Amino acid sequence: MKRGLRSRLTQYGDEEFALFLRRGFLKGAGYTDEALDRPIVGILSTASDFNPCHGTAARLAEKVATGVRLAGGLPFIFPTISIHEAFSFPTSMLLRNLMAMDAEETMRALPMDSAVLIGGCDKTIPAELMGAISADMPSIVLPVGPMLAGKHEGARLGACTDCRRLWAEFRAGTLDQAGLDRAHDQLMPTSGTCMVMGTATTMATLAETLGFTLPGAATAPAVSSERMRIAEATGTRAVAMAKAGGPRPSELVTAASLRNASMVLQAISGSTNGVVHLAAIAGRAGIRYDLDELDRIGRETPVLLNLKPAGAHFAEDFHAGGGVPALWRRMQNHLDLDARTVLGETLGAVVGRWPEYVDDEIIRPLNRPVVEGEAIAVLKGSLAPDGAVIKLSAATPELCQHDGKAMVFDSLDDLEQRIDDPALEVTPQSVLVLRNAGPIGAPGMPEAGALPIPKKLGKQGLKDMVRISDARMSGTAFGTVVLHVAPEAAAGGPLALVQTGDLISLDARGRRIDLKVDSSELGRRREQWKAPAKPPRGYARLYADHVTQAGEGCDFDFLQQQRG
Ligand code: FES
């Protein structure tokens, strides 16, 4: 197999000419012949002014390059799409597959022997992993790392759990504008990813568990010197992988490593987005992600990590408390410790030499979980024949068994226009239903599933009510929220047929979500239902035509089960 500059030569019908030309251009850029004979490490930089979570990415890329040079390799830093949660209209999820294609196709096209994937903000690590798996490029993930927690008027604050809490208090009138403005300055006090167990921390932790990072890389704070040292070591390791030709993603993503990831997802009370991304990652490796197994694992796996929103602490505390390998050690009788890592060794070997110290308050022993019961449960029933999920660890226990009348919002626009209408006929027992917010319907399945509590109920002090949608929810959010209802409304799922006033029954313990309307009435409604129009052109049309449902990862059908 051709390596370094000789790999993936441009096709002119004359390979030696293609190499001659390539070397010539690089000499023109100031490289020497000696440098050009080294193994090449591609460094995917997601630095972008539109992505403040990746404010340190350019410096990290330089540190990776230093590590590559120290180990005798040649680093090439190159850009990819960079997606930030709060900067992507209509939602970052719409662009995840595009970023995955960008990563895959550049890895296929450019001369590199291994890749370092710098990511962090929610969709970036999943996209990079999906691309790397499809290209089967020896790859090592470098998360940008979490922000430090904010300090404000005697309390610690964390994005975005406290953003949501403070905003809810502001909407309810219990926090004034001045109080909100003072807290605003401290919610995101440094560069880095959200420092609670949101999607970014979840996916960094799962990337480490799948073996794609150096030990400790998921949790070291973004602005720490340790993060910079990890970057350098990542570059050094990438050269060894370039020389050895592996480990490749196909050696790391296996049924066993995915089971480990599901177990860790439950133990950290991770983001429900982790379910969608794991399904997509599995699909790229030709493995069907089993939602029933995730549910079964949840019933057997206590929530051990005491991080917001399920717990009380922040990502920097997770790191100081022992980090991901310390969590693996807690779970070592349940995880498959033979699963491999980018170091070419097993999780068990990493655990074996990881420092013994663990903070019992942050990473709890198995017999002292953070919350009673499981983190994420999978529901099925007449409203969600192909499944839905609920994050039980973020829900109100009394609402998890609940019958109530539906208040239906037909779209995100409809929700925005009517949710605060004083005449809206809702009570604390109502079930708020949002549809046409799924993968096809929105499109892109935005994080709109935690519908705001109607202002008139919020002002009465109501903090939670049952909410159901085909949308997703941020990992930093909380509430009794049923998500990812499949099939989604835009694909003709039963959610499309619900009418305001219908009775809906949530039985989370029994894993049921049911629409209590008789079948003849539903048949009549179905005859009148029309699929919403798809976007007329471009990437949005490609997305709507090919995106799969949440349980299959919302990947494009033509990208699953492909291997380079
Ligand atoms: Fe970037 Fe939360 S918005 S990680």
Q: What is the DSSP letter of 397?
A: G
pLDDT, tens digit, for every residue of 132-149?
Answer: 999 999 999 999 999 999
| pLDDT > 50? residue 81 | yes
Q: What atom of ligand 1 comes closest to residue 476's alpha carbon?
A: 2
Q: What is the pLDDT of residues 372-429, one digit of tens each?
A: 889 999 999 999 999 999 999 999 999 999 999 999 999 999 999 999 999 999 999 9
Distance 199 CA to ligand 1 centre (A): 8
Confidence (pLDDT) at 168: 87
Minimum CA distance residue for ligand 1 atom 2: 194
pLDDT at 164 over 90: no
Which residue in 433, 453, 373, 402 sits closest to 170, CA to CA? 453
CA distances from 413 to 97, 284, 479 (A): 25, 34, 22
Count CB-CB contacts under 10 A for residue 404.
20
> What does the pLDDT read at residue 550?
96
Q: How far apart are CA 231 and CA 543, in angstroms?
A: 34
pLDDT at 88 over 80: yes
CA 46 – ligand 1 centroid, Å = 13
Q: Are 554 and 127 in contact (CB under 8 A)?
A: no
Distance CA 539, CA 439 (A): 14
- % of the chain residues with pLDDT over 70: 99
CA of 101 to the centre of ligand 1 (A): 21
Confidence of residue 1 (pLDDT cuts 50, 70, 90): confident
What spacing in Å lies between the alpha carbon of 265 and ligand 1's midpoint?
A: 18
Instruction: Say what the pLDDT of residue 160 is.
Output: 86
Q: What is the enclosing helix (H) or strand (E) of 33?
A: helix 33-36
Question: What average pLDDT does this structure show over 59-76?
Answer: 98
Has residue 561 got a pLDDT over 80? no
Query: Predicted confidence band at 549 (pLDDT cuts at 50, 70, 90)?
Result: very high
Count Cβ atoms below 10 Å from residue 138 Cβ, excluding itself: 25
Tens-place pLDDT, residues 191-236: 999 999 999 999 999 999 999 999 999 999 999 999 999 999 999 9
Q: 517-537: per-residue pLDDT in tens?
A: 999 999 999 999 999 999 999
Q: Are 207 and 125 in contact (CB under 8 A)?
A: yes
**Contact between residue 513 and residue 381 where contact means Cβ atoms under 8 Å apart:** yes
What's the mean pLDDT in 432-443?
96
Average of per-residue pLDDT values in the chain: 96
Are residues 77 and 43 in contact, defined by beta-carbon separation less than 8 angstroms?
yes
Ligand 1 centre to CA of 341 (Å) is: 26
> If DSSP codes are grouped into helix, strand and coil, which group holds residue 366?
coil
> How many angstroms is it from 121 CA to the middle of ligand 1?
5
pLDDT of residue 476: 81
Q: Return d(Cα 117, Cα 45) in angstroms, integer.
A: 7
Q: Are 561 and 282 in contact (CB under 8 A)?
A: no
The residue whose CA has the least distance to atom 1 of ligand 1 is 121
Find the residues whose C-beta lies inside 6 A of ligand 1.
53, 84-86, 121-122, 193-194, 198, 200
Mutate to test the pocket of ligand 1, among 56, 82, 85, 99 (most ligand atoms within 8 A of CB): 85
Q: Which helix (H) or strand (E) holds 181?
A: helix 177-187
How would you class 374 by CB atoms within 10 Å of its CB: exposed for 0-12, middle for 13-18, buried for 19 or more? Answer: buried
* Confidence at 563, pLDDT banded by 50, 70, 90: very low
Cα angle value 64/66/70 (rounded, 5°): 120
For 26-41, what is each residue's pLDDT tens digit?
Answer: 999 999 999 999 999 9
Mutate to test the pocket of ligand 1, among 54, 83, 84 (most ligand atoms within 8 A of CB): 84
Please spell the DSSP secondary structure of 411-449, one letter per residue. SHHHHHHHTT-TT----TT-EEEE-S-STTTTTS--S--
Q: How far apart are CA 305 and CA 313, in angstroms?
A: 9
Phi, psi values for residue 516, rounded to 5°: -90, 65
pLDDT computed for residue 227 by the predictor: 98
pLDDT digits (tens, 9 = 90+) for 346-371: 999 999 999 999 999 999 999 999 99
Residue 157 alpha carbon to ligand 1 centre in Å: 15
Atom 3 in ligand 1: residue holding the nearest Cα: 85
The whole-number pLDDT of residue 171 equals 87
pLDDT band of residue 564 (cuts 50, 70, 90) is very low
